[in-house]
Structure 1
C-alpha cells in the first residue's frame, strides 16, 4: 500500500475506538484495510497515480454525510472522500459485504453508482491505474 499512497499528504493518526464508534453511528462495516489506513492517517489528500483523492477524516464522516443528505438521495451509501470535483467515493453498505463505489455529487442517486472495489487497497489500485 505504501507505493499507492506516496503521493498523499497524510493527516495525523487517530484511534480505532473512534473508527468503531463512527461505524456504529452510521450503521456500517468499513473494509478492514480502510480502518487500518484511517487509524494511521485520519484523512489524506493528494495523488494516487494520476488521480486526485481527498479522504475525509473519520470524525467528519457523520456530519458531512448528513450535510450532503446522502440518506435522502442515496440511502445505503456513506461518502468517505472525493476526487476533489464532482465525484464522491462511498461505501455501499446495502449488502453483506461493503463495496467501494463512485457516485456523482450532483444528481446523487443509488442508481448512478459505479462499483470500484471491495477493498480499500483495491480502490487505491483502481485510482493508480487511471491515466490522464
Structure 2
C-alpha cells in the first residue's frame, strides 16, 4: 500500500476517481497496474525536485501515443519520465509491480534498466531518480 506521507515532498495533482481511470484505460485499450491505479486515486501524477514526473490521466495517453510505446514496447505502458530522456515503463496488466526505465530513443524493454522490483516501495522510498 502506498504511504500517503511518502508523497509529502512531491508536487502533487488532484486525485481522480475510478470512472476517470477506467475511461483512460478504455481509450488506450489496456489495463493499468493496480499499484498505479492506487497512486492515481491519491494523486493524479506528481513531480519531484529531481525531475521525476509520473504521468496523470490528463497526459498519459498523449505521451504513450507520441512516443509510440505500444509499437516499440508492446505490452508496456509509459507511466512517467526521469526528466533526462528516459521513460518509466510498467507491464500493462493489473498485477504488474515492476518498474523499468528505457531511453525514449530506444523504447525497447530488452534494453531497459530495473528501477525497482516494487513500484510501491519505490514511491514509498521517495521515487528516487535512477542513474542508469
The answer to whether the superposition gives a TM-score over 0.5 is yes
Q: Secondary structure at the match of 1:38?
A: helix
Separation of aligned partners in 1, 2:94 and 2:38: 20
Give ranges in structure 2 of 5+ residues lacking alignment: none
- TM-score, L = length of structure 1: 0.77
Aligned residues: 127
What does residue 42 of structure 1 align with? Answer: 44
Separation of aligned partners in 1, 2:24 and 2:118: 18
Separation of aligned partners in 1, 2:130 and 2:108: 24
**Structure 1 residues 80 and 103, CA, compared in 2 at 3 Å: closer, same or farther?**
same
Separation of aligned partners in 1, 2:126 and 2:111: 18
Q: Secondary structure at the match of 1:84?
A: coil
Q: How large is the Cα RMSD of the aligned pairs?
A: 2.6
Q: Pick the structure with more strand per residue.
A: 1
Q: Secondary structure at the match of 2:59?
A: helix
Give ranges in structure 1 of 5+ residues lacking alignment: none
Is the CA contact 2:102–2:112 (under 8 Å) kept in the aligned structure 1? yes
Task: Report the Cα offset of residue 96 of structure 1.
Answer: 7.5
**Structure 1 residues 41 and 97, CA, compared in 2 at 3 Å: closer, same or farther?**
closer
- TM-score, L = length of structure 2: 0.77
What does residue 24 of structure 1 align with? Answer: 26
What does residue 108 of structure 2 align with? Answer: 109
1:97 to 95, 98, 102: 95
What does residue 59 of structure 1 align with? Answer: 58
1:13 to 15, 28, 53: 15
Q: Pick the structure with more helix per residue.
A: 1
